[in-house]
Amino acid sequence: MPLEIKENSIYTTKETQNLLKISESTIKRLLKKGILRANKVGGQYRIMGKEILRLISPELERKAEGVYLKVKKKAVNVINKW
């Protein structure tokens, strides 16, 4: 049975890892790069459910795709000038 991510609940990194089915190194990378926003409490991260939902939303994926296409276009233009 799939787990429900509650918008106003607070999750640990381990719980978030299990919900997203990602490795410990991946969650650390997401936190370090600011892709997944969290608050540090007593030396441990706490992640709001709404942040997890934002991360997996199709809207974020569309934004990432848009950024990728802009970067790709710039790279192609630079290469074509050579």
| Domain ranges across the chain | 10-81
Residue 21: what pLDDT? 92
Residue 1: what pLDDT? 47
CB 36 within 8 A of CB 70: no
Q: Quick count: other Cβ atoms within 10 Å of Cβ 70?
A: 10
Residue 60: what pLDDT? 62
Among candidates 68, 51, 56, 44, which has minimal Cα distance to 6?
A: 51
Residue 2: what pLDDT? 56
Which CATH number fits the domain 10-81, given the four candidates 1.10.40, 1.25.40, 1.20.1530, 1.10.1660? 1.10.1660
Question: Could you say which residues of the chain have pLDDT below 50?
Answer: 1
Name residues whose C-beta falls within 8 Å of residue 6's C-beta, 6 or more positions apart in sequence.
Answer: 49
